[in-house]
Copies of this chain bind each other. A is one copy, B any other.
Amino acid sequence: MLIVADNLHVIRPEIARALASMDPGPIQALVRQCAQAGAQAIDLNCGPLKRDPETRMTFLVETVRAVTDLPLLLDTTNPAALAAGLAACGGRATINGFSLEPAKLEGILPLARRYETDIVGYLLHPDSRVPHETDEMMALAVSLFEAYRALDLDPARLIIDPVIAPLAWPDGTRHNRAVLALIHQLPDLLGTPVRTMAGLSNLASGAMPLTRKITLEQAFLPMLAAAGLDLLLVNVTHGPTLDTARLCAGLLGEGVFAWGPT
């Protein structure tokens, strides 16, 4: 299970300011902190980047690349920004991500073909609604896989994210049980071992004490790991959560962490 830091996010004011003013300092400080905390890859969540998308994404990728060789995920809904970011790192990044939304299928998925990269596909309805039942998620996974294969792309480069729901949602618990079942059954469903990713920070989002967040993460993470999760998107400053992730890898007998198609 690969540990991907979700910390570099435009929702953080210092990151938003650094992106707006093209100031590498705060970004590089955060990247170093993530690497030190145990991140094995870093998600660069820069939002839609409405102003100067190419310039800002190029700046972001070069700024991060200057201080780390860790694999990167480029996390934006802006195709122009994605293309610029992929060009800036010679295509050595994962696109995060597409879904069955028409704009994503048309604007983002073709970039995975053009740059021959890994890409994350989210299990969302074409109108962005979140599915709650395992059957519904499975139908979306089949449609997503078909849309992906329609471009003649390699199944080994697809990463499916079934979208963890906040427990605070009325049907959050039921939804997350369905996520576990989906991850477990996906290889059989698609007939090929497509990788999976999940964003653990969603689970305990909202106002609650940090210790409670971490305890919830520590309880759900082993369930995800045992279901066969490949990439864990997580706040890497949650030390006990990362300890649990490493223990899970040991308990599940993962000799080495894998990245990319093997």
Contact surface of A with B, Cβ cutoff 8 Å: 167, 173-174, 176-177, 180, 184, 215-216, 218-223, 225-227, 243-244, 247-248, 250-253
Contacts and interface: CB of A to CB of B under 8 A. Distances in A.
A244 B218 contact: yes
A99 B33 CA distance: 53
A225 B227 CA distance: 12
Contacts of A253: 173-174, 177
Contacts of A184: 184
Contacts of A227: 226
30 contacts: A167-B251, A173-B250, A173-B251, A173-B253, A174-B253, A177-B251, A177-B252, A177-B253, A180-B226, A215-B243, A215-B244, A215-B247, A216-B247, A216-B251, A218-B218, A218-B219, A218-B244, A219-B222, A219-B251, A220-B222, A220-B251, A221-B222, A222-B222, A222-B226, A223-B225, A223-B226, A223-B248, A223-B251, A226-B226, A226-B227
Nearest to A173: B253
A110 to B, nearest CB: 37
Contacts of A223: 222-223, 225-226, 248, 251
A244 to B, nearest CB: 5
B225 A248 contact: no
Copies of this chain in its oligomeric complex: 2
Given A173-B253, A174-B253, A177-B253, A248 B226 contact: no
A218 B177 CA distance: 19
A56 B221 CA distance: 45
Q: Which 8 A-B pairs have the closest CB atoms?
A: A223-B226, A222-B222, A219-B247, A173-B253, A222-B223, A219-B222, A219-B244, A220-B251
Contacts of A250: 173
A180 B248 CA distance: 13
Nearest to A246: B219
A22 to B, nearest CB: 42
Chain B CB within 10 A, most for which of A215, A222, A225, A248: A222
Given A184-B184, A219-B222, A220-B251, 20 more contacts: A167-B251, A173-B250, A174-B253, A177-B251, A177-B252, A215-B244, A216-B247, A216-B251, A218-B218, A218-B219, A219-B247, A219-B248, A220-B222, A222-B222, A223-B223, A223-B226, A223-B248, A223-B251, A226-B226, A226-B227
Contacts of A215: 243-244, 247
A180 B223 CA distance: 11
